[in-house]
Structure 1
Amino acid sequence: MSAADLLLELRGVHTHIGAYHILHGVDLAVPRGQVTLLLGRNGAGKTTLLRTIMGLWRASQGSVQWQGRDIARLATPQIAQLGIAYVPENMGVFADLTVQENLLLAARGARNAQQIDGARLAWIFQLFPAVEKFWHHPAGKLSGGQKQMVAVARAIVEPRDLLIVDEPSKGLAPSIINNMIDAFAQLKAGGVTILLVEQNLNFAQRLGDGVAVMDNGRTVHTGSMAELAGDAALQRSLLGLTL
Structure 2
Amino acid sequence: MTVEVELRAARVRYGPLEALHGVDLAFPAARVSVLIGRNGAGRTTTLRALVGAVPLSAGTCRWQGRDVTDLPAYRRARLGLAFVPAEHAIFGSLTVAENLGPRARTAPEVADTFPELLPLLDRRAETLSGGQQQLVALCRALLRRPRLLLLDEPDRGLAPAVVARLHRRLLELAAADGRTVILAAQALPPTLTAAGVVHVLHRGRVAFSGEPGELRLSE
State the TM-score, normalized to the length of structure 2. 0.91
Provide Cα deviations, 1:149-207, integer angstroms capped at 9, x if missing partner: 21111112222111100001123222222222222223223221100001243346435
Tell me the CA shift for residue 84 of structure 1: 0.7
* Corresponding position: 1:152 with 2:138: yes
Q: How far apart in 2 are the matches of 1:127 and 1:171?
A: 16
Q: 1:173 to 1:158 in 2, by over 3 A?
A: closer
Aligned to 1:185: 171
8 Å CA contact 1:205–1:226 kept in 2: the answer is no
Aligned to 2:99: 102
* Corresponding position: 1:50 with 2:47: yes
8 Å CA contact 2:84–2:152 kept in 1: the answer is yes
Q: Structure 2: 5+ residue runs without aligned partners?
A: none
Q: How far apart in 1 are the matches of 2:41 and 2:194?
A: 22
Tell me the CA shift for residue 34 of structure 1: 0.6
Q: How far apart in 2 are the matches of 1:185 and 1:131?
A: 21
State how 1:113-128 maps to structure 2 within 5 Å. Answer: 113=102, 116=103, 121-128=107-114
Provide Cα deviations, 1:111-157, integer angstroms capped at 9, x if missing partner: xx2xx4987x2343211112322111111222233222211111122
Aligned to 1:39: 36
State how 1:150-229 maps to structure 2 within 5 Å. Answer: 150-188=136-174, 189-203=176-190, 205-229=192-216
Aligned to 1:241: none
Q: 1:143 to 1:175 in 2, by over 3 A?
A: farther
State the TM-score, normalized to the length of structure 1. 0.83
Aligned to 1:238: none
8 Å CA contact 1:14–1:24 kept in 2: the answer is yes
Q: How far apart in 1 are the matches of 2:139 and 2:158?
A: 16
Q: Structure 1: 5+ residue runs without aligned partners?
A: 105-112, 236-243
Q: Percent identity?
A: 38
Secondary structure class of the residue paired with 2:100: helix
Tell me the CA shift for residue 91 of structure 1: 4.8
8 Å CA contact 2:104–2:110 kept in 1: the answer is no
Q: How far apart in 1 are the matches of 2:156 and 2:173?
A: 20
Q: How far apart in 1 are the matches of 2:194 and 2:136?
A: 20
Tell me the CA shift for residue 54 of structure 1: 1.0
Instruction: Say how many residue pairs are matched.
Output: 218
Compute the RMSD of aligned alpha carbons.
1.9
